[in-house]
Structure formats: C-alpha cells, structure tokens
Structure 1
Amino acid sequence: MNVPIIDPLQGDFPEIIEDFLQYGSMKCIAFNSCGTLLAAGCSDGNCIIWDFETRGISRKLRDSATISPITSVCWSKHGHRLLVSATDKSLTLWDVKKCEKISRITLQQTALHARLDPGALEPTICLACPLSSAPLLVDISNGSSTSLPVSVSQEGNNYTVATNPRKFSDGSTPFTPTAATFDWSGEVICVGNSKGEILIVGTKTSKVYAIIPVPGGAVIKDIVFSRSGLYVLTNSNDRVIRLFENLLPHHNTINELETIDSSNNNTNNNVEEYDIVDKLKTNGTKCMKYLREFQDVVTKIQWKTPCFSGDDEWILGASASKGEHKLYIWERLGHLVKILEGPKEAIIDLVWHPERPIVVSVSVTGTAYVWAKDYVENWSAFAPDFKELEENEEYIEKEDEFDINPREDEKEKEEVIDEDAEVDIDNSEDTSILKASNGSYGELRYLAAVPSPEQSEQQDKYPASPIKLEESNNSASPFDMDVVANGHASSPMEGSEFFFAEEDGGTSLKRKRKPSAKGMEMQAEKDKKPVIKNPKSSSLSKISKPRTKYEFDSDQDDEFTDGFVF
C-alpha cells in the first residue's frame, strides 16, 4: 500500500468540510488571484462576491437585463474586473470596486465558459466557448468577434482550417462544445477539438502554430493551466485526465512559436511535398510534453472540472456521477493520495484556493462546500527545537550550556543594522507565491463594506434620544441608562433630584444627590439641630429590573441602608 494513503497528514491538502456558503442557488465560482474574494454566479442572474476571510457577502452584482442563470465567472489579472456569462447569451463586464457595469453584449449562442485576457490589466478582450460552435474571441467594448480554428486538414499540397466543429452526415452540428483557454501570458490560445487534438492559436493573428495530439483521440472537454503556467491538464471523454508540461516561455511566446515554425520550414525546403499537418504536430512536440494520466481504474468514472492546487503539487478531479460528491486528489507524480466524500449531491463546479489548502465545491443544490485541512493540536509544533519523547530520558547537560559567558566561537553573529537608512513605510516587499507565479501587483484584495438597506431601516425604528447623558470615562453608568429609559430612579436613590445643564452648546442630564437618613442624623448631631426623618427613607421603593450593583431588596430595613451614602 502506498505511504501517502497510510499517512495522509504528510500532504498539504483539504480533508474535511469546514464550512458551507449559501445564497440562492449558486452555479459557478472563481477565486481572485490572491484568494481573498470568491465570486459566485447564481441561477437568478445575481453575481455574489464573498469575502472569503470573513465568509460574508461584500458585493451583489445585479443587472436588471439579466435574469437567466449564470454559466461562468472570471476575474481579471488584478481582480478589478469580473466577466459574467449567462444563459441568455449575454456577456457582462463589471467594475467590482465601483459595483458598476462597464459593458454588456449579446452573442448568437450561449457561452458555457468565458475567460478574460490574462495579459491585460484592464482587459476588454475575452474568449467565449459557445454551446455548439467554434470558440469566439470577443471584444466587449465594441461587440466584434472572431471565430477561432478548431481543426486543420490536408488536401493535396494545401491545407484548410475549419472554424466549425465536425458535423454529422445530415449536416447537423454535434452537441459537444469545444474547450478553449488562454495560456499564462494571453498571447496564445489552446483549443481542444473532437479529434483529441490541442491547437496552439495566436490570439492576435488566429494562426495555428502547432498541434498537440492527446493520447486516446477522444473529445476534449476541459483544458486547464496551472497557476504558474508550467503544467496543463486535459479532461477527455475517455474518462482520463492527462498532464502535460508546457515548454513555451511565459513571455514572447509568439516569437518562440515563429522561431519553431521557421526552423521546420527550413528543414522541409528540400522536400517537394510534405504534410502540413505533420509539420504542425512536429511543432507541437516543442510546445508541450506529455507526462502521465490520472483515472479511476476500478469504476472508470467521468470527471468534472479538474484543477491544480495553488503550488502545482496536487491535482484535483471531481466525480461527474449523479448523486455523488467525491473529490480525488493525486500527487503530480501520479499517486492517488486521498478520496474525499461529501453529501449525496452531484458536483457542478470546483476550484482550489490559490494560496491555501482549501477547496470549494458547488453541488447541484446550489450550496458551496468549503473543504479544509483537519488540523490536530500538536503542542510540540510551537517550539521548533522541541522533541517529543515516548518515555522519560535522562538529560545530560553540556559543559558550558548554562555558562554566563559562552565561548566566542559559539556566539551568534549579530546582524548589522544600518540605523541611518531610510525606511519605506508606504510599500512592502511581496514574498508570497503570487509574486513568483504571475507577478501581480496592485491587485484588489478586499472590498469596503457597504451598509445594507435593512440596517438603515432598523436604525430608523430606534431613533437616538435627544437627551445626552453626562459620560464618565466615555461610558454611562447602568443607573443613568435606567433613568432615561424608565423616567425615574430605579435604585435606593429614588427621590434624587435631576436638573439639566448646558455644556458646550448641548443639553446634558445631571443628577443632584441627597444625603441619606444616616447622613442627615450625623449632620444634625454635628449642627445640634433636630432631624426630621424623611418618610420615604423608611422603606425602599420597588426596584425595576435589571438591578445594578447599588440596588437591594425592598424588604430590607432602614438600618441596613442607612450605612450607605450615595
């Protein structure tokens, strides 16, 4: 048996359902680049943005013209824009921070997936994958679109590029949407067709530079790039997930493809007739390298929305079976390390947190489940040099372990600090994996909270009192609050007089205290004057609830209360 299965704690991947998010019926989800915001598209046309740290709703993007279910959501590179596609054939681009709609266009078919150009800071170009036609490169600002090629065929010495998927004998189009996605830089697009091929197409030129045959030759349903752009996953109809290594550079990708293409042309100059498709497949060997495949050899299940972990170490696949909520986690080397089972609900979307071992899965009921690691308390982890012992051992101290002045060779070198150097308090150095992976700076991490109308209505029901209490240490005493609420003193000091005083242009309520009966007797003896006992002091009035620390039961006699002076 594999060691990862025996000891699952060695992997940094989720294990249990920690929480769930629920708002309406969610259909699709997407994290921003740093994982602090989670966008979710709902069946009623709403787009909800969750603050993932607090698990609260930060924004509700609602377009009055869109009441159809959302099919996909996609963040821009820095998270300031969000692209939303719906079943009413619409594409809507939102400004997330301002909660404003930038533009909205309508396509001829419903886009199952829509992706923004990852190379632009404020993108207007997006890639849309319609239901039963070729992928479209759409400019949302003006509504123009370009169909991308999905296949290349050889006809003698010429070749043709088809922009429509393969048709049946009767001329009808098959119900198999074509998968397509941008690469890491956005300079090229990877298009998967029904022949089991991946076409490398230029974003600006729509030219086919290479063809990568996928083993099995089955219809490609999904193409997913890792966060670093070094690896590619494909999900095919033959129930197998395959892993490729991306050999193209992150920058100047088109120049590299042109170089590869020109070198192959020079090689074939002496050949009178050569197959252009074979040349494109030769180019493909220099673009991607096939590594391995992932599947369930026992059940042979179909897979739904595979994805990478944030550090590219783990590969996640979801079961596409109805009534089954299963997640399979593999190492990148091919070993199955964990199978997670959730509620008896089918999975419709799945995403891994960019920086943490957290997975969010959306079930067919519209609930998003948050999977996290099952952390176990381990007190030895608080001290790096602490060692756990199964039984007591005799400790032998070193010769100079507790010496006041240790030897010079064992002293740690003190760090030299330049006290005169200027300190930059405005900028901070980003050392996270985000910097190493995509170099994103200035991304939108959090959204300011917006008061909801419900809170304003509750405040209107309870308007502020025009009487301001005199505060002591910026807080009112329980007695003062009870006086204002009930209109009378609810304490042994009932009968004290109150008066209003003007301070700094405002009215404040002050209390003028009367001496107690015992105090009056003591003062009378001192002044040698007769004392008239206040009849109200013989018994305490009924105390209103709640009591304060100054309050006593009403059945106590006067001798007990006369010893206190208020």
Structure 2
Amino acid sequence: MNATLFNPFTITHPTTIQTSLVSGASFARFDPSGKLLAAGRPDGSGVIWDLDTRATVRWCEGHVKGITAVDWSRNSRYVLTASKDWNIIIWDLASPCDPPQRHTTIRFDAPVIAASFHPRNSRIVLALLSTGEPYIVDLRSSHRGRFELGGEDDGDEKRTIMTTARFDPTGRHVFVGTSAGTIEVYNTRTKSLVARHRIVGAGVIKGLVFANGGRRLATNSSDRTIRQFTLPTYPPPPEPNTTYGSSKYQIVETELEPTHRFNDPISKVAWHAMSYSPDGEWLAGGAADPAAHKIYIWDISNDGQFASALDGGREPLLDVHWHPHGPRLASTTKDGNILIWHCPSPERWGAFAGGFEEADENVWYEEGESEFDLEDEAELALRKKLQEDEDVDIVGGIEDGTSMAPLNDVMPGDVDLEWADEEGELDREDWRMKIITVEGEEVY
C-alpha cells in the first residue's frame, strides 16, 4: 500500500545539507527505524551514530582490513560488517558492553566485497566474494550450511563472474549481476536458478537496488547508465536436486527492457551508488565525479523526469543511501565525512488551529458577535452526559478505509516465507540498547 495513505504529508526529496558527521567512513546505512546510522571505515572499524544527538553510540572494532559492507537486521538489533580480511562479523547491539559483543563470525577463503541480511531473518546471510562467488550462509540449527549460488555447470563453456548480489525486499529471491551484462535470479530456499535476464548494452552490472515493493529494480552498469525495470512474476521454484533445464522445470530466459534510462547527457559521468525513496517515487544516483559531490534525483512518479541535482561541494562522492521513512539522504565523501541531507519545511502555524488561515501581512481582524462568548454550563453538561451514553467499539477500532494486514504476515501456503521465518525469534522488536552518558548514567 502507498505510504501516503498512512502519512498525510507528501514525501519529497532532500534539497539541502542538514549536518555533516566527521567519521572517516567510506559508506553509511540508516537502520530500519531511521534513528541510527552505521558507517564502515577503511581501517576496519565500524561506527554507529545516533541521529538525534549526532553522537557515536557504538564502535565495532574487530576487522584488520577495510570494511566493504554494512547491513542492519530487521529490527536493528544486529549489525553486519564485511571486510577485506575475509570475515563477516555480526554484532549484537543488545549486549551491555562496548564494543558490542560478537554474535557470529563467518570466515571465507577470499575478501568479502558485499554482504547483507535476509530481509526477514538475521540468521540468513548473503555474501559475495572478490573471486566472484555468491554464498547463502544459513546459521539456523535446522538448516545450517554454506551454499554457493551458480556453482553448477549449466552448459556454459566459461563461468560468468558474479559482480553484485542482493536479496529482493521479500527475501524470496537473490538477484545476482554478472560481468556479462546478465541478471540471474535464484530462489533463496532451494538455491536453484529460476531466471536469467539479459540487458542489452549494459556491460558489467555494478549495482542493484530495489524499490520497497520489490517489483521495480534499478541497475548500475559499466556503460554509465542507470536502468529501471519492472520485474516479471516468477514461477514456483524447483525443489532441490531438480535437473536444470529438464522437462520438469525450465529456466526463464528473457531480455529485460528498461522502463527508464538515467544518465548525465553532458558529462557522461559514471555512478557510484543508487537508492530509492521509501515510497519508490524518487531515485537518487551518486555521481562518480572526481572533482565534485553530486547527487542526481529523478521523479519516478512523473515518468522518470529529472528533478534536482544536489551539490555537496568539492569532496568527491563515494556512496549514497536514502532514509527508510522520509526525505533524507546520507552521502559519504572521499575525505570520510557523512553528509545528512534533508528537506526543510517552513513552519505553518495555521496547521495548529483548524479554521484559521495564515496571512502574508498584518490585517485588521473583525471579531464575531459571539466568537468569544462562554458556553452555557448547562448545555455543556448535557452534551457530556449524552456522549457518555454512546456505545464505544473497543474491538473493531476506526474504519477509515486504510486498514491492511500487517506487512509481516505470511499467507498460508507460502513455503518460501514460512521457511525464512523459522528460528528468527532473537531479533525481536522489544530489544533495548544500553547507552552510557557522559555523566555515567545508563540509558536504554
């Protein structure tokens, strides 16, 4: 459902810098609540900021080489950091110590260039190695294992190098971009290939990003063009050990046609990163300009029209990430600063009093005849008594037409999501993070 049904204020795009955080980081990610910001540094440490106080609340120091990826669990309890030192570390922010306790360390045989949590379960991790192999690591006791995607020989003479990998927002599928300009789609539960899409003229797929609904996908490729696609509906996956390409199951092989193409027609600049707004109506692209900090924003709801170009100064941009709930962006500079962008709105005092309108200049006000008369006490007491006699529905609530099933609900028979929700009880919404103030007071 559209986010505007819940929020009467239209979500727009950021326009100006609100603050700058000196962090020495290469990239930053908002947590799902939007209150915290995790940043990865080239020295192997991670830092977590409280956006309300603009103070660091946790340092995650455990890697010996630069951090290449940071991700948050579904309820922000766990933070994942991947590094060039071949390790992925999962940190538990509910631990009382600082730095936080290591919940899990996953060791590989090569540097990890990308990693993320499953959208529904923090015990399922997707990792991409510098050698081009994507892995799904399942830490649950009943499904424990490390599974390589695309490891089977599907008839190609030369194995394609995997360059980027992401879960889709539902967690049902893993999308993998390749050096051959294709996107391979794997079922997360069965680890089987369900589709392969060709993108004409794209070259190497450098990045993938989804709108929250999961039906729209944007790609960043070596031809310096950002493309947006509308994804098809995929057939049910084959069960494990099903022969690829057999008569029982055919892999969907199609050529995806982009609905929009985004580029800079003047400077032909490449792109470092992309990020959708929470409602999917805006797309931000971080330009790989060596002499400026530029963020281009396109209006997807208006046929992909160019909306604005944000100028962050002369420090080159490395990464950009959109806030999960509003018109805010976090962009990192080559010098390690994190710029927080927002959309300032003028105060509308008329919004605090219904029936009043704001005036651009002073005007003479004519008082109504009974405008400030006191209400008769007898009539007031009678109205209150009548209101007390009215029946109140304490079960059904208010029927305003905007009710919907919780997003976390799983429809009966959805085996992929039922599988993903198994043994995921540790990352609950009721966890608390302890913060020690300057005065030594413990705050949760």
User: Shorter-chain-normalised TM-score: which range?
Assistant: 0.7 to 0.9
* 2:32–2:324 contact (8 Å) kept in structure 1: yes
Q: What is residue 379 of structure 2 aligned with on the other side?
A: none
Q: Confirm or deny that 1:148 pairs with 2:143.
A: no
Q: Give CA-to-partner distance per residue, 1:282-302, whole Å, 9 cap, x none.
A: 5x87xxx74212222222211
In structure 2, the gaps of 5 or more residues are 1-8, 377-382, 411-420, 422-426
Per-residue deviation, 1:41: 1.6
TM-aligned CA deviation for residue 144 of structure 1: 5.1
Could you tell me how far 1:339 is from its partner in structure 2? 0.7
1:353 alignment counterpart: 323
Residue in structure 2 matched with residue 165 of structure 1 by the alignment: 160
Q: Report the alpha carbon displacement of residue 203 of structure 1 after superposing the two structures with TM.
A: 1.9
Question: More deviation in 68-77 or 221-230?
Answer: 221-230
Task: Give 1:372-521 correspondences, 5 Å limit.
Answer: 372-388=342-358, 418=391, 436=407, 442-443=428-429, 447-451=433-437
Q: Residues of 1 paired with 2:151 and 2:158: CA distance?
A: 5
Check the 8 A contact 1:111/1:128 in 2, yes or no: yes
Which of the residues 80, 88, 91 maps onto 1:91?
88
Q: 2:225 aligns with which of 219, 227, 240?
A: 240
2:196 corresponds, among 211, 225, 228, to 211
What is the match of residue 35 of structure 2?
36
1:327 to 295, 308, 321: 295
TM-score normalized with structure 1 length: 0.60
Q: Aligned partners of 2:73, 2:157: CA distance in 1, in Å? A: 30
Q: Distance in 2 between matches of 1:150 and 1:338?
A: 43
For 2:252, what is the secondary structure of its paired residue? Answer: helix
Q: Deviations over 1:319-354 (max 9, x none)?
A: 112131001111113011111001211111211110
Q: 1:497 maps to which residue?
A: none
Tell me, in whole angstroms, the C-alpha distance in 2 between the residues paired with 1:437 and 1:216: 38
Q: 1:162 to 1:115 in 2, by over 3 A?
A: farther
Are the equivalent residues in 1 in contact too, given 2:36–2:48 (CA < 8 A)? yes
**Which stretches of structure 1, 4 residues or longer, exceed 6 Å deviation after superposition?**
390-405, 413-416, 431-434, 437-441
* Structure 1 residue corresponding to 2:271, chosen from 303, 313, 327: 303
1:223 aligned onto 2:203: no
Measure the CA separation in 1 of the matches of 2:69 and 2:118.
15
Q: Deviations 1:360-406 (Å, cap 9, x if unpaired)?
A: 1111111111111122344444445444556899999999999989x
Amino acid corresponding to residue 174 of structure 2 in structure 1: I
Q: 1:81 maps to which residue? A: 78
* Alignment correspondent of 1:100: 101
Corresponding residue SS for 2:47? strand
Q: How far has the Cα of 1:205 moved from its partner? A: 2.7
> Structure 1 residue 96: deviation in Å?
1.6
String of CA shifts for 1:206-254, please: whole Å, max 9, x gaps: 3211122224242111111123323211111111111122444xxxx77
Q: Deviations over 1:255-280 (max 9, x none)?
A: 3x569xx9xx99x99xxxxxx7xx62
Aligned to 1:469: none
Question: CA 1:358–1:433 in structure 2 vs 1: closer, same or farther (change >3 Å)?
Answer: farther
Whether the 8 Å contact between 2:190 and 2:238 is mirrored in structure 1 is: no
Higher RCO, 1 vs 2 (CA within 8 Å, ≥6 residues apart): 2
Q: State how many pairs are aligned.
A: 391
**Map of 1:318 onto structure 2:** 286
1-side partners of 2:409 and 2:220: how far apart? Answer: 24
Tell me if the contact between 2:72 and 2:80 (Cα under 8 Å) persists in the aligned partners.
yes
Q: Percent identity?
A: 29
- Gap change, CA 1:451 and 1:209, over 3 Å in 2: same
Which protein has the larger Cα radius of gyration, Structure 1 or Structure 2? 1
Q: How does 1:231-270 map to 2 (within 5 A)?
A: 231-248=216-233, 255=236, 257=237
- Matched residue SS, 1:321: coil
Which amino acid in the other structure matches residue 116 of structure 2? R
Structure 2 length-normalised TM:
0.75
Answering whether residue 108 of structure 2 is matched by residue 111 of structure 1, we say: no
Q: Deviations 1:9-53 (Å, cap 9, x if unpaired)?
A: 987211111111123x11222122121121112222222111222
Structure 1 residues 445, 247: closer, same or farther in 2, change over 3 A?
farther
Maintained 8 Å contact 2:11/2:327: no
Distance 1:382 1:401, change over 3 A: closer
CA shift for structure 1 position 72? 0.8
Aligned residue in 1 for 2:337: 367
Question: Cα–Cα, structure 1 residues 389 and 226, in superposed 2: closer, same or farther, change >3 Å?
Answer: same
Structure 1 residues 34 and 390, CA gap change in structure 2 (3 angstroms): closer
Counterpart residue number, 1:198: 183
CA shift in 2, pair 1:129/1:319, >3 Å: same
SS state at 1:149 partner: coil
For residues 278 and 238 of structure 2, what CA distance do their matches in structure 1 show? 31
Instruction: Give structure 1 stretches of 5+ with no counterpart.
Output: 1-8, 153-158, 167-176, 270-275, 406-410, 425-430, 457-566
The letter of the residue matching 1:133 is G
